Amino acid sequence: MRKISADYIFPISSAPIKNGIIVINDSGKIVNLLSSSSGLEDVEKYEGIICPGFINTHCHLELSHMKGIVSEGKGLVPFIKELMSQRAADSDFVQQCIKDAEAEMMANGIVAVGDISNGSDTFSQKAKRNLHYHTFIELYGFLDNQADEAFENGRVLGSKLEKQNSIYSLVPHSPYSTSQQLWEKICQWNIENKGILTFHNEETEDENKLFLDGSGSLIELMKWFGLDTSFWKSTGNTSLNSIKGLLPKNTKTLLVHNTMTTVKELSSLNMELESPYWCLCPNANWYIERKLPNLDNFIKTGSKITLGTDSLSSNWRLSILSEMQCIKKHYPEIRTATMLSWGTQNGAELLGIESNFGTLEKGKSPGIILITNSNNGEITGSSQVVKLI
């Protein structure tokens, strides 16, 4: 039995407890939360904030070997070109980087990950179950006649994960890289298998330009991929508005990045879908585009936010606290309590693991972390994570 106290305990499911105490049994399960230590012995006392383990809802663990390789601040299309042309690497090196990246996430208090996979490089590490993973097998296919092959490749990867009892969903990469036929196959699969849909959404202004009138740099990217771009039909609408009719109403859906998403788009999707979640990856946005989404829009529309690190190809580290520090730098008025709910409870709900993760409540084993160098219950630029359980 451990009794742990800190300046603030953030259960997330209830109000912060100043100088609270959390009691944990030998198997790491929470047995009590107390507001006073009077009469208690052997209380471990820490300076800072105690909260549940973090949920990283968008990562690409398989790109961990690309840390520091792709140039910063050039925009999405140069980023993708550099990434694709430098992605190949020695498989032992790739495996070691995956292992190291997972260890980094664990040290940074992350307990569960929604992880994008194009291939099977991460599967053996996931089989070790050091963290809870939901693998999003990501499918591409610009043309309708590529849909069957892309979908079949996804099914083959999925059966590998099934054999090792790992959880997964089949997902589209983005509105612009997924043909209507492939969208329909993927959505149908998620309806039948109670999956989670996720895709990169409106990461750059040029994504909307492509859909609006076929202009911008993404059409160049398609040519770079060797495609005859005469297949492309603009819709006269934004990227999200062009595909939202395809989204199943009752399937949990996580839209990632959302840098250009407007209040109108947020409100209407929040109304139309039963469980929409909006993943912000501020460090990756800054790395690639030097631009962040307008967070005020998400807050005023009551949008359910989660946080993601994206991959080490577009981030300096895999840390949810670091994502919060980036937000705090650009939006100092956003409270730590609010950001913590994005990085814990909302992510756990999205991944369907809220019965054990995401909040500090009796009977749960959500991981317990300490955030140091806080200022009266607020994180600071020098805060760090110490994993307590």
Cβ closer to Zn ion: 182 or 284?
284
Contact 319, 288 (CB under 8 A): no
Shortest distance, position 173 Cβ to Zn ion, whole Å: 9
**Residue closer to Zn ion (CB basis): 7 or 310:** 310
Residue whose beta carbon is closest to Zn ion: 310
d(CA 53, CA 223): 43
At residue 5, what is the residue type? S
In the complex with Zn ion, which residue's Cβ is closer, 115 or 310? 310
Tell me the CA distances in angstroms from 389 to 79, 112, 173, 386, one per residue in order.
37, 14, 35, 9
Task: Map residue 133 onto helix, strand or coil.
Answer: strand
E strand or H helix at 170 = strand 167-172
Give the residue with the Cβ less far from Zn ion, 247 or 312: 312
CA distance 343 to 197: 19
Contact 5, 20 (CB under 8 A): yes
Q: Going residue by residue from 300 to 319, which x/- string records binding to Zn ion, judged by CB under 5 A?
A: ----------x---------
Query: Nearest distance from residue 61's CB to Zn ion, in Å?
Result: 11
For the bound state, the minimum distance from the C-beta of residue 140 to Zn ion, rounded and expressed in Å, comes to 13
For residue 356, the Cα-to-chain-centroid distance in whole angstroms is: 19
Between 17 and 76, name the residue whose CB sits nearer to Zn ion.
76
Distance of closest approach, residue 128 Cβ to Zn ion, in angstroms: 23
Nearest to 312 by CA among 87, 74, 85: 87
CB of 63 to Zn ion, least distance (A): 9
259's CB contacts (< 8 A; 6+ apart) are 202, 203, 204, 285, 289, 291, 292, 293
Query: Is the Cβ of residue 5 or residue 217 nearer to Zn ion in the bound state?
Result: 217
CB of 257 to Zn ion, least distance (A): 7
CB of 361 to Zn ion, least distance (A): 31
Strands 17-18 and 167-172, by their bridges, are: unpaired
54 or 136: CB nearest Zn ion: 136
Site string for Zn ion, 261-300 (x = CB under 5 A): ----------------------------------------
Nearer to Zn ion, 322 or 383 (CB): 322
> Minimum distance from CB of 69 to Zn ion (Å)?
16
Name the H helices within the chain: 76-85, 91-107, 123-126, 147-163, 180-193, 205-213, 218-224, 239-243, 263-272, 282-289, 295-300, 320-330, 336-341, 347-351
d(C-alpha 51, C-alpha 338), whole Å: 12
Which residues contact Zn ion by CB under 5 A? Answer: 310
